[in-house]
Chains A and B, each alone.
Chain A
Amino acid sequence: MSSTLPRREVVSALLAQRGDTLVVAGLGSTAWDCTAAGDSPLTFPLWGAMGAAAMVGLGLAIAQPARRVLVITGDGEMLMGLGSLATIGVQAPRNLAIAVIDNERYGETGMQTTHTAHGVDLAAVALGCRFASARIVRDAKELDAARAGLLAGDGPALVQFKVIAEKLPLVLPPHDGVALKERFRRALLGAPAA
Chain B
Amino acid sequence: MANPDWPREIHDALKRAGVRVVGYVPDAGHKRLIELCLADPEIRCVVLSTEEEGIGLAAGAWLGGMRCALLMQSSGVGNCINVLGMTHECRFPLLVLVTMRGEQGEFNPWQVPMGQATRAVLESMSVAVHRVTEATQIAAGVAAAAARAHSDNSAQAVLIAQQVIGIKSFQEQAAQ
Contact = CB atoms under 8 A, between A and B. Distances in A.
Interface stretch (B53-61, B136-144, B157-165): B53-61
B62 to A, nearest CB: 7
Interface string B19-49: 0110000000000000000000000101111
Contact of B60 (A47, A60, A83, A177): A60
Contacts of A184: 63
Interface string A11-49: 000000000001010000000000000000000101111
B101 to A, nearest CB: 22
Given A59-B59, A189-B65, A49 B49 contact: no
Contact of A63 (B47, B50, B54, B64): B64
B56 A55 contact: yes
B52 interface: yes
A177 B46 contact: no
Interface residues of B, number: 35
Nearest to A193: B65
Name A's interface SS: helix
A84 B20 CA distance: 20
Size class of the A contact interface (CB-based, 8 Å): 35 or more
B60 A49 contact: no
A175 B46 CA distance: 29
A140 to B, nearest CB: 31
A62 B91 contact: no
B172 interface: no
Contact of B86 (A22, A46, A90): A46
The 8 closest A-B pairs by CB, nearest first: A59-B60, A63-B64, A55-B56, A83-B49, A177-B90, A52-B56, A63-B66, A49-B86
Given A49-B55, A87-B53, 13 more contacts: A48-B89, A49-B86, A51-B83, A52-B55, A55-B54, A55-B57, A60-B61, A62-B66, A63-B21, A81-B53, A83-B50, A87-B46, A181-B90
Interface of A: 22, 24, 44, 46-64, 81, 83-84, 86-87, 90-91, 177-178, 180-181, 184-185, 188-189, 193-194
